[in-house]
Structure 1
Amino acid sequence: MKLTGTYRKLVKNTTINDTTLLSTDYLNHYNELVMMLEMVSDMPDMLEEVETWQPKTYQQHFRDSAFQHKELAVWAYEHAPDEYREPMDDCIARMDADISTGLPELRVLADAGNEDRLKAEASALTGRLRGWIDTMSALINGALDSEGYQARLQAEGPSETAATVMDQSSIDALFD
């Protein structure tokens, strides 16, 4: 049983949205990665630090954080309305998939010494991640719900929502 109404009262006067029961503090986890990726263009060696970044679930992020209301954030998330939580979970999964595909492909470029392509692909990945972060922010703040999220995915099409940095033939061509 969800206690959405109760949690809406409990989150008043916190940074947890009282409509969605989600917190923008979760975005900090991904913003950290974006900041590091932006540095890869000027400092390719920064890729090593980027590769240490690991995805975290919403709950894991708060449990590991110093966020003042971290326990409340976890509990509220578990009672968040499905119209916000389900698309949020989907958005996180899609973003994590983009990252898990994109980072190894950046490594291939770095190892091949292809700095120009590395810069371009790091920039492209950064742009996609910013798009996911914007979408998560809209969900967290209640500006987007499940219906709006699905409409956004359809409008952007598969090239935007399931983009990859390079396909295998492009990677193979680096070694020819």
Structure 2
Amino acid sequence: MTDHMLKKMEAPALAAEGPLEDIQRRAEAIVNPASGLANDYLNLFNEIVMLIEQLPAMPELIEDILKWRPVTYQSYFSKSILPGRVSALEAYEKLDLTFRKDFESVVADLDRRAVGAAVAIRRQYKKDTDTSSPVMSELCERVGQALREILLTASDLVNHGRRTQRETEQERADRLIYGAHRRTA
């Protein structure tokens, strides 16, 4: 969405509240009170996952994938035009150190895997420029799914201020098999 379109959409809100009140309200809303983190940062990762998953059907996305680079939380909001960027940075500095390290660890894992995915896609693309080939499609599906799993952990941290315990595929299979076995016994 262009800046012009955003301004047109925001115009009624500015007129109703006044510019300073609207900016303050949006600035406060950017930081999740449960965690002290802003969900907007995760858009960086949602974007690369969507690009990767759509690549087999949209070959023009290859350049965007190959140009993708990690950006730290602080850098993301330092360069942001969002009204709440200052609030997001201030809240980040006040985070519990253990929680912040946990979040940064998850982000480092996302960064590493996203860069690794781009490298694997680049390698495959050099071998075969057909982005819709079965090999490329499988690669994009696999790395997209792996990134989404870690992104869920990051989302839990941002949205709930903690990691949510997730059932692994093996645990789910064991539960279903064991549960079915118990009902028939």
Given the two structures, how large is their TM-score scaled by the length of structure 2? Answer: 0.68
Kept after mapping to 2: 8 A contact 1:12/1:18: no
Residue 5 (structure 1) aligns with: none
Kept after mapping to 1: 8 A contact 2:30/2:88: no
Structure 2 residues not aligned, in runs of 5+: 1-25, 170-185
Q: Match for 1:121: what amino acid?
A: L
Q: Is 1:90 the equivalent of 2:108?
A: no
Residue 147 (structure 2) aligns with: 129
| Structure 1 residue 12: Cα displacement | 9.2
Write the deviation string for residues 111-150 of structure 1: whole angstroms up to 9, x where unpaired: 11162111111111111111121111100122525xx6xx
| Structure 1 residue 70: Cα displacement | 0.1
Q: Pick from 6, 29, 40: which aligns with 2:55?
A: 40
Hey, which of these two has a bigger chunk of helix by percent?
Answer: 2
| Structure 1 residue 44: Cα displacement | 3.3
Distance change in 2, residues 1:137/1:124 (3 Å): same
Residue 119 (structure 1) aligns with: 137
Distance change in 2, residues 1:13/1:108 (3 Å): closer
Structure 1 residues not aligned, in runs of 5+: 1-10, 157-176
Mapping 1:10-159, distance limit 5 Å: 13-113=28-128, 115-142=133-160, 144-145=162-163
Q: Match for 2:142: what amino acid?
A: A
Q: Match for 2:86: what amino acid?
A: E
Distance change in 2, residues 1:71/1:116 (3 Å): same
Paired with 1:119 and 1:95, the residues of 2 have a C-alpha distance of 21
Given the two structures, how large is their TM-score scaled by the length of structure 1? Answer: 0.71
Q: Percent identity?
A: 26
